[in-house]
Amino acid sequence: LNRFPPGESVSVSTPPVFQFDNSYARTMEGMAVAWRPAQVPAPRLLRLNRALAEELGLDPDALASEAGLAVLSGNVVPEGAQPIAQAYAGHQFGGFSPQLGDGRALLLGEVIDTLGQRRDIAFKGSGRTPFSRGGDGKAAVGPVLREYLISEAMHALGIPTTRTLAAVATGEAVYRERPLPGALLTRVAASHIRVGTFQFFAARQDTERLTRLADHVIARHDPSLADHEDRYLALLRAVCERQAVLLARWMGVGFIHGVMNTDNMTVSGETIDYGPCAFMEAFDPDTVFSSIDTRGRYAYGKQPSIAQWNLTRLAEALLPLIDTDEDRAAERAMAVLQAFPDRFSHHWLAGMRGKLGLPATGDDEADRDLANDFLALMQRHAVDFTLGFRRLSSVLRGQPEPLQALFGAEADGLADWLARWQARLGAAPLAEVARGMDSVNPIYIPRNHLVEHALEAATESDNLAPFEALLGVITRPYDERANDALFAQPASAEESAGYRTFCGT
Ligand code: AMP
Ligand code: MG
């Protein structure tokens, strides 16, 4: 990293927008490059997340002011910030790149939120850095608003995720297939440390920095492991467990990340990097949305095993810390990795029990079969994943028609399955079970055609109304509202045919 010139570190006195405490910049010397965001010509606030600002202990009005906009656009580096581009490596679609890093992102600094949690404040789209390679370091309005929508929807669904504090239009064009209006996102994360961050130092056999990184992660995400006699193995186990939880949550809402490269997997267990992601409609485990994922590596149904593959890359990076004896280190890491499918399956079953209104305990195999058989039925009849689960509760309220309509006239197998399901529910109080199901099965998700419509209106006509409307709906995903009925509808056949999302972010 020393071959990169340090960026000027200019701080400007502004009203104290953030109270920074930058532990990464402080302790991770040689793991990032001091850099500055690019100046932008005509910043304009597209959206400020006021609720998140308050959660962070920030003043939303100050952020929305001229001075706040100057900060959120990157034009002014606020006092206490130490903007850095973080180094990381990563396996992309299976191939290793020893150097990726923040090519269009900068970590501005860390704050302690109102709950005492340390949170990163970072830019995405803030211009070139020493890690940009051929890229322009910029982002366009569409992808920035996509990340805003999907990350905030994920949060509202209770799924660990990076958040979006603000989206700012820059007033300059970015060039993709054609000129597009530029924008910049302020991302909030438990940390931006990725599997690929560990790989960066492991690939350089820089065990000293690797150890420092691992200790930093333990202090930050797993403080209870600090005195553990096997703390690096325990760290691996903790990261595996968080990812098992996360993957089970993704699978439970039909979320497809789209580009599960190791640089896009956090050690905090938060979902990160919303590029070609989308929510599945008609259930099919082979669903792929990313235009560049031509082989279906990151298809919906492959996500848990890809997570395990990525975690194996993390384990490899950690080997020198786990045991000085290489074979013993590998053996011990392997035992942790091999537990992943069971851990995932455990969390998946817990999620499915919630979705089906089943008690939290019972015959695991029988409940797993019940859930899998429902999924198989949905697949056979191309039923919308979200509505398929949501409409189940109506059956318990004596209204099977909304569910039956999804399966079509000859819904063979559905009646049998419903009978099995209701037998399993037994004497449970059905009204209460139905209410519980509605509190975990969303009715509103960011449907692809609605997201595309909102991004297009913002990009082509500078019209943010569809974005605002959609954001309002998907951040309250569980309570059904008559006025929002259209937002619950799947795309028409034409709209969903060959739907692809692009990485051109
Ligand atoms: P991603 O596909 O977003 O996970 O990014 C993979 C790598 O490409 C990271 O190192 C990014 O910083 C870099 N990258 C993506 N887009 C750009 C861009 N427009 N300019 C510079 N670097 C980029
Ligand atoms: Mg990435």
Least Cα distance to 241 among 346, 321, 329 occurs for: 346
- Which bound ligand lies closest to the C-alpha atom of 92? 1
Buried b (16+ CB within 10 A) or exposed e, 108-119: bbbbeeeeeebb
The pLDDT-based confidence of 254 (bands split at 50, 70, 90) is very high
Q: How far does residue 282's CA lie from ligand 1's centre (Å)?
A: 31
- What is the rounded CA–CA span in Å between residue 386 and residue 372? 15
Mean pLDDT, the chain, integer: 94
* Amino acid letter, 108: L
Q: Which residue has the tokens 């290793």?
A: 96
Backbone angles phi, psi at 212, to 5 degrees: -65, -40
> Does residue 265 register a pLDDT over 80?
yes
206 is written with which tokens?
A: 């820089």
Asked if 187 and 124 count as a contact pair (C-beta separation under 8 A), the reply is yes
Average pLDDT on 263-285 reads 97
Angle between the 340-356 and 303-322 helix axes, to the nearest 10 degrees?
140
> Does residue 318 register a pLDDT over 60?
yes
Provide the whole-model pTM. 0.96
| pLDDT recorded at residue 2 | 38
Backbone angles phi, psi at 92, to 5 degrees: -110, 120
Pocket test for ligand 1, best of 100, 260, 292 (most atoms within 8 A of CB): 100
- Which bound ligand lies closest to the C-alpha atom of 276? 1
Average pLDDT on 14-24 reads 83
Q: How far does residue 170's CA lie from ligand 2's centre (Å)?
A: 21
- What is the rounded CA–CA span in Å between residue 220 and residue 224? 10
Q: Which atom of ligand 1 is nearest to the CA of 88?
A: 10
> Atom 11 in ligand 1: which residue has the minimum CA distance?
103
- Which bound ligand lies closest to the C-alpha atom of 176? 1
Q: Which atom of ligand 1 is nearest to the CA of 505?
A: 16
Which residues fall within 8 angstroms of residue 109, CB to CB, at 6 or more apart? 18, 20, 21, 22, 25, 80, 81, 82, 83, 120, 121
Q: Could you please report the per-residue DSSP string of 408-436?
A: -TT-TTHHHHHHHHHHHHTTS-HHHHHHH
126 is written with which tokens?
A: 């803030």
Q: How far does residue 263's CA lie from ligand 2's centre (Å)?
A: 6
The pLDDT-based confidence of 51 (bands split at 50, 70, 90) is very high
Residues whose beta carbon lies within 6 Å of some atom of ligand 1: 100-104, 131-132, 135-138, 259, 263-264, 273, 275, 503, 505
Q: How far does residue 254's CA lie from ligand 2's centre (Å)?
A: 21
Average pLDDT on 27-40 reads 92
Q: What is the rounded (10 degree) CA torsion for 70, 71, 77, 79?
A: 120
| pLDDT recorded at residue 11 | 53
Least Cα distance to 49 among 210, 220, 166, 199 occurs for: 166
> Atom 10 in ligand 1: which residue has the minimum CA distance?
100
**Higher-confidence position of 1 and 174:** 174
419 is written with which tokens?
A: 């009978």
What's CA 308's distance to the chain center, in Å? 17
- Among the listed residues 222, 263, 273, 384, the single catalytic one is 263
The pLDDT-based confidence of 502 (bands split at 50, 70, 90) is low
DSSP state of 324: S
Average pLDDT on 230-235 reads 98
Q: How far does residue 103's CA lie from ligand 1's centre (Å)?
A: 5
- What is the rounded CA–CA span in Å between residue 255 and residue 327? 37
Average pLDDT on 273-288 reads 96
Pocket test for ligand 1, best of 33, 35, 100, 104 (most atoms within 8 A of CB): 104
- What is the rounded CA–CA span in Å between residue 6 and residue 170? 25
What are the Cα distances from residue 437, in Å, to 128, 366, 408, 422, 478? 47, 19, 23, 14, 10
| pLDDT recorded at residue 439 | 98
Q: Which atom of ligand 1 is nearest to the CA of 503?
A: 2
344 is written with which tokens?
A: 């995932």
DSSP state of 126: B
- Dump pLDDT digits (tens) for 182-195: 999 999 999 999 99
What are the Cα distances from residue 453, in Å, to 415, 450, 468? 37, 5, 12
Q: Which residue has the tokens 């599960």?
A: 260
| pLDDT recorded at residue 12 | 55
Catalytic residue flag (residue 263):
yes
- What is the rounded CA–CA span in Å between residue 200 and residue 212? 13
Q: How far does residue 383's CA lie from ligand 2's centre (Å)?
A: 32
Three-state SS string over 345-358 comes to: HHHHHHHHHHHHCC
- Which bound ligand lies closest to the C-alpha atom of 97? 1
Identify each DSSP E strand in 278-352 by its residue range: 278-279
Average pLDDT on 127-144 reads 97
The pLDDT-based confidence of 492 (bands split at 50, 70, 90) is confident
Asked if 503 and 290 count as a contact pair (C-beta separation under 8 A), the reply is yes
Q: Which residue has the tokens 């920095």?
A: 209
- What is the rounded CA–CA span in Å between residue 250 and residue 150? 12
- What is the rounded CA–CA span in Å between residue 410 and residue 401? 13
Pocket test for ligand 1, best of 92, 93, 132 (most atoms within 8 A of CB): 132
Q: Which atom of ligand 1 is nearest to the CA of 174?
A: 19
Backbone angles phi, psi at 252, to 5 degrees: -75, -15
- What is the rounded CA–CA span in Å between residue 78 and residue 376? 53
- What is the rounded CA–CA span in Å between residue 225 and residue 239? 12
- What is the rounded CA–CA span in Å between residue 102 and residue 391? 43
